Amino acid sequence: MIYGYEILARAREKPVRRQRGRQTLIRCDSAGGTHDFVSWLAKRGRWLSYSVGMVITETIHSHVLKIPAPAWTPAIETDGEVRDGAWVAELTGDLLAGWPKGMRLIVRKERPHPGAQLRITDADGMRITCFATNTPHRPIAELELRHRLRARAEDRIRAARATGLRNLPLHHTAQNKIWLEIVQIALDLLAWMPMLALTGPARLFEPRRLRFRLFSAAGQLVTTGRRRILRLARHWPWSHEITGALERLALLPNPG
């Protein structure tokens, strides 16, 4: 098994000319919230910033319950507006003993979405989450927003499972390696195609919806006068999305 810090070490083997400073941000979920991994990130000379999810332990939970109401700051959205029903606070003191110097521990409490089940680590009907970072001199609301944006990785994982990574269909390892390469190519296309060709709500389509609405649309390719014309069914509700995407792709410069 290859651990996270081993992957990061391999990624940093190639020397890169850059000014000193924490210009590389490492974000991960609570699986990375261990002493070994955080200490590796904070090791002198690495110049890494990190934003690492932490497990809500009994000690953290008890400290959250003691935070006074004025210490909670409203969380924010990407547009700078206040996030409804969410607040953040920073934990300090002996709770940070044994962790690397300069680490900050930030917690968020938020009203759970309708139908969501509370966990035993939640408090007062609020969903509690926690993360650690070594980024100084920035408001905790900005740091919480930066960490929350990591949720895009979960979207990519969900898309990967829907594209073929849920199961390995072949018998031999070498065959499944080829399968994984094909899935990776498909994921690259699914990541770039919406950004370059789609607009509006269509950019947020999941793979299954893309397959149903765009990729499986009936059409006919006609060659006439040395031209190829794609004819789509007029009654298909998303034909305009397909034609608009093709027009936008045709305007892009030739990468060759």
Query: Is the distance from CB of 250 to CB of 228 less than 8 angstroms?
Result: no
Between CA 186 and CA 188 the distance in angstroms is: 5
CA–CA distances in Å: residue 232 to residues 28, 190, 201, 221, 240: 44, 22, 21, 9, 9
Gyration radius (Cα) of the chain, Å: 24
Question: Which tens digits make up the pLDDT trace of 57-116?
Answer: 888 888 988 889 899 999 999 888 999 989 999 999 888 889 999 999 999 998 887 777
Mean pLDDT (whole number) for 31-52? 89
Q: How confident is the model at residue 10 (pLDDT cuts 50, 70, 90)?
A: low
pLDDT above 80: residue 162: yes
pLDDT above 80: residue 145: yes
Structure tokens at 201: 């709500």
Between CA 213 and CA 236 the distance in angstroms is: 9
Q: How confident is the model at residue 140 (pLDDT cuts 50, 70, 90)?
A: very high
pLDDT at 1: 39
Mean pLDDT (whole number) for 134-159? 87
Between residues 22 and 182, the one the model is more confident about: 182
Secondary structure class of 97 (helix, strand, coil): coil
pLDDT at 18: 52
Residues 6+ apart with CB under 8 A from 194: 202, 203, 204, 205
Secondary structure class of 91 (helix, strand, coil): strand
Q: Which of 134, 129, 136, 138 is nearest to 41 (CA)?
A: 134
CB atoms within 10 A of CB 96: 15
Measured in whole angstroms, the distance separating CA 112 from the mean position of its chain's CA atoms is 20
